[in-house]
Amino acid sequence: MAIKEVLLYPDSRLKEICARIDEFDDSAGKLLQDLVDTMLAAGHSVGVAAPQIGAVRRAVVVDVSNSKLGKKQKNHGLLQMINPEIIEKSGDQVVREGCMSVPDYTGNVNRAERIVVQFSDPQGNLQVISAEGFEAIAIQHELDHLDGLLFLDRVSSLKTDLYRRKQK
């Protein structure tokens, strides 16, 4: 469909809580396709959430299968999730995260090691999957966007756990 511009922090739309999607119509399908196109066009992205492209709706896409970390672990390939919700978490890990909406920084964030996620697929069918490792981290990161949270909100200390990215 279309490659969309990714909103950058401090754009206020990134802090909004997204509305549920109740109709699985052409607009929901177009939104998911726009998210996939935007993620693929970035070249380095493993996920994008609807608010990052200015749509305040509960939809995300995640695909870690082509990333260095994702290739090392079992993963689900391209996930297109509508109204996703984490229903189970276990384990605890601190990981370094970055975000297309905060391009100049990375930070240490505490995430669950394993999660179970419930969501609707593009056709409106309810799905439940288990994810672990890098895929679980990516899903948690994208789902935070739906509640107006950035990884910056989860960094325990902006002084010691936030890092400026090296410029190429």
Catalytic residues: 142
Distance CA(65)–CA(76), nearest Å, equals 8
Q: Which of 68, 11, 61, 65 is nearest to 36 (CA)?
A: 61
Residue 39: both structure tokens together:
């993620």
Distance CA(154)–CA(167), nearest Å, equals 24
Question: Which 3 state secondary structure label does DSSP give 132?
Answer: strand
Question: Which 3 state secondary structure label does DSSP give 33?
Answer: helix
Return the half-sphere exposure (C-beta side, CA atoms, 13 A cut-off) of residue 81.
Answer: 28
CB 46 within 8 A of CB 70: yes
**Element at 139 (helix H, strand E):** helix 133-146
